[in-house]
Amino acid sequence: MRNTPTILHLDMDAFYASAEQAAKPSLRGKAVIVGGLGPRGVVATASYEARVFGVHSAMPMAQARRLAPNAAYLVPRFGFYREISEQVMRLLRELSPLVEPLSLDEAFVDLEAGGTAWDEESARLTGTKLRGDIRAVTGLTGSVGLAVSKMLAKIASEQAKPDGLVLIEPGTERAMLGPLPVRTLPGVGPATGDHLRRVGITTVEEVAEAGEDELVRLLGKAHGSALYGMALALDERPVVAERDTKSVSVEDTYDVDIHDRVRVRMEVQRLADRCVRRLRDAGRSGRTVVLKVRRYDFSTLTRSDTLRGPTDDPAVVREAAARLLETVDTTGGVRLLGVGVTGLADFTQEDLFAQAQAAAGELEPLAEEEVEESAEKQETPTVRRWSAGHDVRHAEFGHGWVQGSGLGRVTVRFETPDSDPGRVRTFRTDDPELEPAEPLPLVRRRPQVSSEPARWPQSRSGGGGGGATSSP
Ligand SMILES: [Mg+2]
């Protein structure tokens, strides 16, 4: 393990909700909840104002509505978040070739490998400058943790939230960790936490005091040893660049195109199960589920869904794959289906240690497929749906966003990231003057000579794997 705090963990603050507040002046300083608004929806992100009411991510939406009935409830706009995420990841890649994204708004960076930091002072300066750059480029805030290992850097960024920087000085790690609850350690979920509490172990210090033999007796060899190591602040895991991470995927080509939607669904479930078996055989878990569909005309689509944490649960992968399938039109027939899991980790959120020592095995990378633009276009639904929070443009009133819709009416608030809070107007849902619009950038580029509206700076769109991304 290194002895300089040059591993950086960045975590954007209440990312989806903050992005929505930045885009919608009327929501700034208000409780904003982004997530699935359907009967089984869960909260993806709650703004800090909403957290005051006890709302947090992964909470059922119905419960959030009871706790914060007056909050703004918005459907996630993943394309928009991805644009911001790419801006952030570009800034991170300027610091080091070793950037390991964990989700759209979270990543590890090995500053030493990039030559950008070599001691405490240079690490702190780099982290401070990064936070400023993120703010300038995206208009949003992120928190930074710096430490000698990934585990500690992540704990540090959690302590830094919101809008802060925490550097854990080398030599102080064990003193800092000691009083923290055992659940702070990565991979200690509610089950392991309960198990340890029953034998009187609630803090990291108590884990260290219990000793390795006792922990192995309680939790088994792999789990017990790994937990003991974590409690001593030992974490050797390297930062792994995104391109080095592997995927597990399986696919089937059919002799005869499948037209029956029920059969397509069944095939996807079967592939999801097979994929999870391979994942488990490799002792791994992943957080992004990818669905690949090649249609009768050879157009190939990939859709991906990023979960809140790594999983190897067949039910979770099946459900994610089924959800992705719902976004693909297969009416013309399907000649190939594939299901993959990427963003692999050696552990699941819930149980790091059970799998930590399993061999990585041989993993076949998921085939990179060009997403054909023409095929993408065909996906546009013919029925106009006005999702809460999504952007629209009105011929007369300009740019706005859907505040709500129902009973043949849609309410739109007309405002832009750099306007004052806007006014609300109501239209018929089939008003020909109203149309869906692309999100506007949160930070305007320098004014150009032309009077063109601001656009996203050179975005890395296109390429494989781009698709609907969501947290459950
Ligand atoms: Mg975050």
Cα 16 from Cα 73, distance rounded (Å): 12
By mean pLDDT, which of 70-79, 248-257, 262-271, 444-453 is the weakest? Answer: 444-453
The answer on pLDDT for 272 being more than 50 is: yes
Q: How far is CA 150 from the centre of its chain?
A: 18
Rounded to the nearest angstrom, the distance between the alpha carbon of 16 and the centre of ligand 1 is 8
Predicted local confidence at residue 246, as pLDDT: 65
By CB neighbour count within 10 A (0-12 exposed, 13-18 middle, 19+ buried), where does 240 fall?
middle
Predicted local confidence at residue 16, as pLDDT: 94
Q: What are the residues whose beta carbons fall under 8 Å from the beta carbon of 135, sequence distance 6 or more?
A: 141
Strands 285-295 and 398-406: unpaired
By mean pLDDT, which of 192-206, 262-276, 379-393 is the weakest? Answer: 379-393
Rounded to the nearest angstrom, the distance between the alpha carbon of 17 and the centre of ligand 1 is 10
Binding residues: 11, 105
Cα 169 from Cα 154, distance rounded (Å): 14
Contact 120, 129 (CB under 8 A): no
pLDDT top residue among 375 and 328 = 328
Residue 317, classed as helix, strand or coil, is helix
By CB neighbour count within 10 A (0-12 exposed, 13-18 middle, 19+ buried), where does 402 fall?
buried
By CB neighbour count within 10 A (0-12 exposed, 13-18 middle, 19+ buried), where does 382 fall?
exposed
Binding residues for Mg(2+): 11, 105
Determine the average pLDDT of the residues in 374-380.
37
Rounded to the nearest angstrom, the distance between the alpha carbon of 18 and the centre of ligand 1 is 10
Predicted local confidence at residue 454, as pLDDT: 54
Strands (DSSP E) found in 296-437:
300-311, 334-345, 391-394, 398-406, 409-414, 423-428, 434-436
Q: How far is CA 364 from the centre of its chain?
A: 23
Predicted local confidence at residue 456, as pLDDT: 59
Determine the average pLDDT of the residues in 234-257.
79
> Look-up: residue for tokens 């936070």?
131
pLDDT top residue among 169 and 298 = 169
Determine the average pLDDT of the residues in 415-430.
94
Rounded to the nearest angstrom, the distance between the alpha carbon of 233 and the centre of ligand 1 is 23
138-161 residue pLDDT tens: 999 999 999 999 999 999 999 999
Confidence of residue 256 (pLDDT cuts 50, 70, 90): confident
CA atoms within 13 A on the CB side of 113: 18
Range with top average pLDDT, 6-20, 239-253, 309-323: 6-20
Rounded to the nearest angstrom, the distance between the alpha carbon of 144 and the centre of ligand 1 is 11
Nearest to 192 by CA among 221, 165, 227, 217: 227
Confidence of residue 313 (pLDDT cuts 50, 70, 90): confident
Confidence of residue 344 (pLDDT cuts 50, 70, 90): confident
Predicted local confidence at residue 369, as pLDDT: 31
Confidence of residue 360 (pLDDT cuts 50, 70, 90): very low
Cα 207 from Cα 409, distance rounded (Å): 58
Indicate the pTM of the whole model.
0.68
Range with top average pLDDT, 49-58, 100-109, 343-352, 455-464: 49-58
Return the CA Rg of the chain.
Answer: 23
Cα 407 from Cα 285, distance rounded (Å): 44
The answer on pLDDT for 437 being more than 60 is: yes
41-64 residue pLDDT tens: 788 899 999 999 999 988 889 999
Residues in a beta bridge with 181: 203
Write out the catalytic residue numbers. Answer: 106
The answer on pLDDT for 366 being more than 90 is: no
Predicted local confidence at residue 353, as pLDDT: 31
Strands 142-147 and 165-167: parallel
Report all structural domains of the chain as residue ranges with CATH numbers, in order of start. 176-231 (1.10.150.20), 245-377 (3.30.1490.100)
pLDDT top residue among 468 and 30 = 30
Cα 273 from Cα 347, distance rounded (Å): 19
Cα 307 from Cα 472, distance rounded (Å): 6
Q: CA angle at residue 367 from 365 to 372, to 5 degrees?
A: 155
Determine the average pLDDT of the residues in 353-371.
28
Q: What is the mean pLDDT of the chain?
A: 83
